[in-house]
Amino acid sequence: MLENISSVKVSGGWHKQYTHSAVSTHCTMRFAVFLPPGASESNKVPVLYWLSGLTCTDENFMQKAGAFKKAAELGIAIVAPDTSPRGDNVPNEDSYDFAQGAGFYVNATQAPYNTHFNMYDYVVNELPALIEQHFPVTSTKAISGHSMGGHGALMIALKNPQDYVSASAFSPIVNPINCPWGVKAFTGYLGADKTTWAQYDSCKLMAKAEQSNYLPMLVSQGDADNFLDEQLKPQNLVAVAKQKDYPLTLEMQTGYDHSYFFISSFIDQHLVFHHQYLSA
């Protein structure tokens, strides 16, 4: 059952927050939705799902990205889930990059995280079904995200190409099995057997992709990002894309960092990119 906890008009549409009891994560989850002006049961609109990064919630993108004006113009709904399960009964660590706030969009197999940390199932299955049932949207959807959420967006699109028309990311973790953030998260959620990690690694997934399932992808990366060389490594994904002739565009942006100043500078470009496929 959905509970509306906030509602505010913006750019002619509505930004709303909801909570609900989630089956996949066995806890109360919160998400935000932007409905553009004119969205109704007789005029359903496509959806862009946005996945946020480490330490974030549904609020970071909605409050800082400045996406509403262009989304309203293009007639795109935006849905932003939280980055992890939360609550007193949900396991947590005194660490910004693991447990609450850092779900990494996987299905955990290791106790005590495997009961609640099933963000992959939540984002891929439960949340879209809920959105399509309760809001004036079509089943046509794209996916995007930032940092850990960029990892989630690209990985989920590569694993489920039939479900999305396009994917994009800002500063994504493209090769988590080969960076400190990913190794820590995957070890904790999936265990020490690294053969199980590849199913959530965009580089590994793209290497196995069949051409009939290719999706258009756009990645924006700032060259002044402090995490660029150690954690993000976009060149690893570009190398796979070149080998596979995968339709990936990487745009390196001079002087930009890892923050929402960067995202807000190029979010319109990403919305226009998705619109051409959402409206096809």
The catalytically annotated residue of 82, 97, 201, 225 is 225
What is the pairing mode between strands 167-170 and 217-222?
parallel
- What b/e sequence results for 241-276 when a residue is b if at least 16 CB atoms lie within 10 Å of its CB, and e otherwise? beebebebebeebeebbbbbebbebbbbebbebbbe
Give the Cα separation of 28 and 98 in Å (integer). Answer: 19
151 catalytically annotated: no
Which is catalytic among the residues 15, 116, 151, 258?
258
165-178 as b/e: b if 16+ CB within 10 A = bbbbbbbbbbbbeb
Question: At which residue do the structure tokens 């909605």 appear?
Answer: 62
User: For this structure, is 225 an active site residue?
Assistant: yes
Q: Alpha-carbon distance 252 to 143, whole Å?
A: 20
Residue 251 token pair: 């745009």
Strands of the sheet with 77-81, listed across from one edge: 3-10, 13-22, 27-35, 77-81, 45-51, 137-145, 167-170, 217-222, 248-253
Bond preceding residue 180 cis, omega within 30 of 0:
no
Q: Which residue from 196, 146, 145, 203 is spatially nearest to 174, judged by alpha carbons?
A: 203
Verify whether residue 147 is a known catalytic residue. Answer: yes
Catalytic residue among 147, 166, 168, 171: 147
For the annotated catalytic residues, the residue numbers are 147, 225, 258
